[in-house]
Each structure stands twice: as C-alpha cells, then as structure tokens.
Amino acid sequence: MAEKIIYLDRGFRQEFIDKMTELAPNYVIKTELEPTDLMNVEISLGWNRQYERELLASPGLKWVHSISAGVDTLPLTAFSEKGILLSNGSGIHSESIAEHIMGVILGYSRGLFQAQKAQAKKEWLGTHVHYQPLEKQKLLIIGTGQIGKMVADKADSFSMVSYGINTTGHPVEGFSQTYSLNEVEKVVADMDIIVNILPLTEQTKGFFNYELFKKFASHALFINVGRGASLKTADLVQALNEEQLAFAALDVFEEEPLPEKSPLWEMDQVLITPHIAGLTSDFQNKLMTIFLANLKSYVTNQELKINEVALQKGY
Amino acid sequence: MAEKIIYLDRGFRQEFIDKMTELAPNYVIKTELEPTDLMNVEISLGWNRQYERELLASPGLKWVHSISAGVDTLPLTAFSEKGILLSNGSGIHSESIAEHIMGVILGYSRGLFQAQKAQAKKEWLGTHVHYQPLEKQKLLIIGTGQIGKMVADKADSFSMVSYGINTTGHPVEGFSQTYSLNEVEKVVADMDIIVNILPLTEQTKGFFNYELFKKFASHALFINVGRGASLKTADLVQALNEEQLAFAALDVFEEEPLPEKSPLWEMDQVLITPHIAGLTSDFQNKLMTIFLANLKSYVTNQELKINEVALQKGY
C-alpha cells in the first residue's frame, strides 16, 4: 500500500511534529517532496505553488490548510470541483491586526505621526498639530468577523461608536448598528473612520473606488488591512489629492512590496506599513492549535473541526 | 465700597461670562487689569505672571484657579502663607493624555513609527519591523490618579497587566499591584513599559535619573507625559545610548520648546511630541464645568467644591 503523506511547506518545531505523528500514526510527514511523493500527499499544510499542478492532478489530495486567513490566492474552484477540504489560519492574526488598527487610529488622532515627521526637521509644532479626541467618533468597521469584533471592543474603551458592515447586514454584538455591503454608500459619509478588514472575493475586488471615496467625509481616516486588491490605488490617490478624505493608512497593496514608483510613498496624507498588521509572536504555536485540532478530527472522521473555508464564498 | 474683581487671564465665550455674572452678581469680570484694579482682584482664573508681584502683595486675592493640572510653576509657598485657595484643571486633559499614552504604546509595539521612518526613504521593511503583541505586557504606571486609572482601564482591553506607583503605595482599583515611590527601583526591571504621569514636586524633581534607568529592562519603553523636570535629560540620553532601555517617547521637556541643539531630536530611539498629550477639544466647556462649580460654592461659603490643591503637597 502506498504511504500517505502530510506535506508541510515549512519546518516546525519537533514538539509539533511529534504531536502530528501521535495523532496520525499512519502518515509520513515531509517538508520536501520527491516527484514520486506528489501523488501520495493527502494533507498539505500551506500551499506550495511549485507543486500545484501535480497536487491538483492527484486523486490523493484531500485537505489543504492555509497558513493565512485570506485564501484568495488559492485555486478555490479546483478545490471545490475535486471535493478538497480547505481550512485557514483565521484567528492567529486577529489580536495583532486589532492592535494595529487601534494604533493607527490613535497615532493619527493624537498627532503622533505628524509629530514624528516634524521631529525629523527639528520642528516643534506645539498646538499646530492636528488632533481629535476619540470620544463619540464614528468608526465603520467593514468586516464584522473576529478582528472586527475585537476592534469594536477596544474602540468601546475609548468611547467610540462602532458601526459594522457585513455581507447581509446581520446584527453583530458590540456594533451599535450593522449594514450590508450594498448599503455602504449610504453610510460612509457620516463616518469619521473607515476600516477595511474584508477578505478578497469577487464582490470585494476594487470595492474601494473613486465613486465610494467621493462619498467619504473630507476629514475621514481610511484604514486598509484587508487586501490590497479591494482598493483601486489610483482612485485613492486621486481622492486624497482632491481632499475627498483626509488620510489613508495602508498595510496591504495591489503589488507588494509597494513599487518604488508608487506615488503613495511621498504623500503626506498616507501612512504606509509593509504588510505588518498581522505579525504575531509564537506563530507556530497559534497555527498548530488550529491545525492539530483539525488533524485529530480529520483522521477520525474526515471532517474539519474549525476554520473550514466555504469554497463558494471564499472565506 | 471697592469693587471685587474676577480676573480672567484669557477671553471666554459670552455664555460662560453670563453664567459667572449670574452666580456672582457682586463681582466685576475683567480680562484686562488697570494698575488700580490689582488690589481688588479676589479671584484669578489663570495666573498672569505680569501681575504676580502686585496680586501677592494685595490682601484682596482669595482664590486662584489654575488652567492646567500641574501647578508646579505657581508660587505655592506664598499662596500657602497668605491662605489663598488654589484649584486646578485636573481631569480636563485626562482622556486625551490616556489616549496619547495608548497611541505611543501601540505605535511603538506595532512598528508604526519605524514604518513611517522607512516610508520617508521608500523602504519596505516587511517582517524586519520590530513588533511586540501587547498581551501580558507589564505596564508600570507611575501616578495612579485619574489619568493613570484611565490608562489601566484601556490597557486592560489589550490584555496588558497594569502595575501602579503612588506616594504611599496604597492599592487602586484597576491595578494588579501598587507600590510606593520608594519602591520604584525594586520593580522597574521587571516592566516592559514605564509611564510617568507624576506631578512635579520636590520629591519627583529629577526622579528619572541614570541610576534608575540603569535598572530598566533593555527592551523597555519609557513614556514621559508628566513634567520635563521629573527627568534628567542628559541621563536619559546616556542610558539610551548605552541601551539600558530601548525607546523613549517624550511629550514634556526641561526646556520647551525643545532647543534645537538637544541631542534628542536626532535619536532614532526617541519620539518627540511637542507637549500635545493633553490637547483636547471643547476646552472652554471642560474648564468652565470645574470653575463654575467652584465659583458657586465659593460665593456661598468661601469653599471650593472640586479640584482643590493641597498646597503642602503641591497637587
């Protein structure tokens, strides 16, 4: 009988390899694959594009676990057609991203970014700094999943008022009101801060375009920690130049690293962070908590316990 | 009978002048003083150094209300000797300062300040940014008054652990443990973040000196939003250069504006903000809420209702 392989696209600490072996003693664990291994891979932790064609052609592949929460770069249609299970890393980065969002809101609202720029010129701005207390500020969180809820919770300790947007507009605890994606144009004008945490899907691609930015309040702060392609970068640049909104803090970009020729680098009303919002410590431990829970249920009954991705929805 | 004067060191909106007149109909309200007015000033809102000698020499002065929370620049000994009441603006700036502190903590811990510096050079740092999730970080708040408590409350929503230092070490709600000022050397080494919110008194002048910084953890973040003179600037510069601590975010300085020749301006491990932590909106309204409450009780029974400063303590 051919061996069954769990393929890991990167190395993990021995303690985790040991636990995998204990939970799935009938599998061989490999971090490098020979050509003859490819048709025996049943479980893939991470998705190595180098093996994509062979793995999708093999009848052996049953379950892919994505390291990240976003699965927009994976061949979802092929997975769906072949009945391959997919789970993701949702939750690992949530607390970090929520902290990043609050840091950006506070850094902007307390004039810290402006002060740091002035420091480089040995300039003492004093009361000329732009500031805005957070109390009663209206925060629109687009994406009311785990990260969105964490942000709403933290925003509450600053007496901000959180509004949410999700696919259907269903109510979510911690949000003073929620709306559906289709209603976004109606509500943005009234918001002080707009945060995008949406996954990238057909519906959210290019979602933030010039027409939408035109509806923003001119003092609005826009934060994108979702996906770069949710945003039409050229449209944002135009909207900022026309003062349709006041400031944008961007952590994700249509092309990464952000090309040197991008006008965003030099814009005074833009903070660029290099896709760092999700950085977290003890990453292996957090990833393995999810993967091992799923491995246990997979070997028992071929089902995933947590974080299964609905392939039709894409998240 | 000579008129009794309420002197205002700056203009206020008419609605507030009207309320003063209503509460204290026997007083004349002035924002400019003639030499003949000086001995008739009974209440001074703000302290104008231009009139200091005459006001202190006059038997008429009974109550001074300080605009700011810190009263270290006022002639406290003379007020005490002459039995002049003093109240302060404590509370007006608390929420702003708490937001500033959290903004600095998040900006540093999420690599935002570092990313902004890299942006100026069109540099994409990626995972080379320094970051540290806030969960379980130990935060030492030196000064457990209103601001300190607000910070501890917000820090809790990021799962940080707050420790407090006050004069006697008495317990304060929201702090996992509190210590007295004398115990600071014992506890700093174990702390990730140290925030100074102390008022300036004889006891706190030069409190943060080289000997103390030497006890900091080398990865520690130090934040000063108290008073510049609580800190020996040259000692901090030396300690930072020797990596006795990792980063300092300073909002107050021994000399303000910070002189151009100060080495702090160019230090990569220093964030300089130009005394902006307390900036708040609707300042007149907040100030008048305190002043009018006190004016009402003062005209009734010559006592102050809130924010009376203990002249011996200096806060």
Domain boundaries, chain A: 4-91+281-301, 93-272
To the nearest whole Å, the CA of B295 is away from the closest chain A CA by: 28
Question: Of A52, A185, A243, A256, which residue is the catalytic one?
Answer: A256
Asked which of A35-39, B68-72, B188-192 is least confident by mean pLDDT, the reply is B68-72
pTM: 0.91
* The predicted structure's pLDDT at residue B2: 74
B121 touching chain A per CB within 8 A: no
Q: Is the pLDDT of residue A314 over 90?
A: no
Tell me, which fold does domain B4-91+281-301 have in CATH?
Rossmann fold (3.40.50)
SS3 A268: coil
Helix (H) or strand (E) holding A161: strand A161-166
A268 touching chain B per CB within 8 A: no
d(CA B134, CA B42): 50
Q: Is A100 a catalytic residue?
A: no
Predicted ipTM of the assembly: 0.91
Q: Could you say which of B96, B133, B153 has the minimum Cβ distance to residue A281? A: B133
Contacts of B6 (CB under 8 A, 6+ apart): B20, B24, B27, B28, B29, B30, B41, B42, B43, B44, B45, B295
Q: Is the pLDDT of residue A1 over 80?
A: no
Angle, helices A112-120/B112-120, rounded to nearest 10 degrees: 40
Q: Using one digit for the tens of pLDDT, what is the confidence trace for B32-89?
A: 999 999 999 999 999 999 999 999 999 999 999 999 888 999 999 999 999 999 999 9
Which strand ranges, in their side-by-side order, compose the sheet holding A247-250? A177-180, A161-166, A138-142, A193-196, A221-224, A247-250, A270-272
Q: Are B193 and B220 in contact (CB under 8 A)?
A: yes
B201 touching chain A per CB within 8 A: no
**% chain A with pLDDT above 90:** 95
Angle, helices A112-120/A94-109, rounded to nearest 10 degrees: 70
Report long-range pairs for B103-106 (Cβ below 8 Å, ≥24 apart): B103/A103, B103/A106, B103/A107, B103/A109, B103/A110, B103/A112, B104/A112, B104/B221, B104/B223, B104/B249, B104/B271, B105/B134, B105/B139, B105/B155, B105/B193, B105/B221, B105/B223, B106/A99, B106/A100, B106/A102, B106/A103, B106/A106, B106/A107, B106/B134
Q: Using one digit for the tens of pLDDT, what is the confidence trace for B251-279?
A: 999 999 999 999 999 999 999 999 999 99
Q: Is the pLDDT of residue B117 over 60?
A: yes
Q: Within chain A, what is the greatest distance between any pair of CA atoms?
A: 76
Band of pLDDT at residue B1, cut at 50, 70 and 90: low
Q: Could you say which of B99, B272, B275 has the minimum Cβ distance to residue A158? A: B99
Which chain A residues contact residue B257 at CB under 8 A? Answer: 124, 126
DSSP B105: H
B91 touching chain A per CB within 8 A: no
Question: Of A211, A227, A255, A260, which residue is the catalytic one?
Answer: A227
* The predicted structure's pLDDT at residue A186: 95
Mean pLDDT along residues A90-114: 97
B134: Cα separation from own chain's centroid: 25
A227 touching chain B per CB within 8 A: no
To the nearest whole Å, the CA of B121 is away from the closest chain A CA by: 9
d(CA A201, CA A73): 10
* The predicted structure's pLDDT at residue B32: 94
Mean pLDDT along residues B159-182: 97
Are the beta carbons of A127 and B99 separated by less than 8 Å?
A: no
B116 touching chain A per CB within 8 A: yes
Mean pLDDT along residues A46-69: 95
* The predicted structure's pLDDT at residue A244: 98
A228 touching chain B per CB within 8 A: no
| Higher local confidence (pLDDT), B1 or B53 | B53
Are the beta carbons of A107 and B107 separated by less than 8 Å?
A: yes
Are the beta carbons of A110 and B277 separated by less than 8 Å?
A: yes
A134 touching chain B per CB within 8 A: yes
Are the beta carbons of A115 and B273 separated by less than 8 Å?
A: yes
Pairing relationship of beta strands B193-196 and A138-142 according to DSSP bridges: unpaired
Which chain B residues contact residue A134 at CB under 8 A? Answer: 99
* The predicted structure's pLDDT at residue A26: 96
Q: How far is CA B208 from CA A120, B202, B203, B236, B254, in A?
A: 25, 13, 11, 8, 12
Average pLDDT of chain B is 96
**% chain A with pLDDT above 70:** 100
Q: Do domains A4-91+281-301 and A93-272 have the same CATH topology?
A: yes
Are the beta carbons of A279 and B104 separated by less than 8 Å?
A: no
Are the beta carbons of A257 and B124 separated by less than 8 Å?
A: yes
Question: Of A32, A275, A303, A308, which residue is the catalytic one?
Answer: A275
* The predicted structure's pLDDT at residue A86: 97
Q: Is the pLDDT of residue B295 over 60?
A: yes
Mean pLDDT along residues A247-276: 97
Are the beta carbons of A134 and B281 separated by less than 8 Å?
A: no
Q: Is the pLDDT of residue A2 over 80?
A: no
The CATH class for the domain spanning A93-272 reads: alpha beta
Average pLDDT of chain A is 96
Give residue for tokens 């392939």.
A311
Identify from B93, B124, B283 which residue to disrupt to test chain A contact, counting A C-beta atoms within 10 A and taking the largest count: B124
To the nearest whole Å, the CA of B52 is away from the closest chain A CA by: 26
d(CA B303, CA B106): 43
Torsion of CA B115, B117, B122, B125, to 10 degrees: -40
Mean pLDDT along residues A17-39: 96
Q: Is B13 a catalytic residue?
A: no
Q: Is B49 a catalytic residue?
A: no
Band of pLDDT at residue B297, cut at 50, 70 and 90: very high
Give the side-chain half-sphere CA count within 13 A for A217: 15
